[in-house]
């Protein structure tokens, strides 16, 4: 959790709206599997904030867009969707 910009947030993560994305392959409704970053959290262990700030070239994902992973149960297609953050 970053408190750097508390006034903006992802409307989907905050429950204001759902993702209504149709699968480009079969046209079925895709399912939101949550934040991409949460999936990454399983992959890379937590590091101290100061350490992250010092790391040059660390991907800056805090660009007011929230990456969500979408998955189609019908055909198994998955893709990333960037959700623009809004003022909360
Ligand atoms: Zn989100
Ligand atoms: Zn599909």
Do the domain assignments include residue 45? Answer: yes
**Cα 78–chain centre separation:** 14
Do the domain assignments include residue 73? Answer: yes
Any idea of the CA torsion for 69, 74, 75, 78, to the nearest 10 degrees?
A: 0
Do the domain assignments include residue 25? Answer: yes
For 33, the domain range is 8-87
Backbone Cα Rg of the chain: 15
- Domain total for the chain? 1
Distances (CA, A) of 20 to 30, 36, 40, 64: 7, 17, 23, 20
Do the domain assignments include residue 33? Answer: yes
pLDDT score, position 36: 72
Distances (CA, A) of 11 to 5, 29, 80, 82: 15, 19, 16, 12
pLDDT score, position 56: 47
How many whole angstroms from 67 Cα to the centroid of ligand 1? 6
Tell me which ligand sits closest to the C-alpha of residue 27: 2
How many whole angstroms from 85 Cα to the centroid of ligand 2? 26
pLDDT score, position 4: 57
Mean pLDDT by 10 residues, the chain (88 residues): 68 90 96 75 52 48 80 94 90
């Amino acid at each position: 959790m970053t408190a750097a910009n508390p006034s903006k947030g992802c409307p989907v993560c905050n429950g204001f709206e759902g993702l209504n994305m149709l699968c480009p392959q079969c046209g079925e409704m895709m399912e939101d599997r949550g934040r991409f970053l949460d999936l990454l959290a399983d992959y890379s262990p937590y590091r101290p904030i100061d350490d992250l700030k010092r790391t040059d070239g660390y991907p800056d994902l805090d660009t007011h867009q929230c990456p969500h992973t979408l998955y189609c149960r019908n055909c198994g297609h998955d893709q990333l969707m960037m959700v623009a953050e809004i003022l909360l």
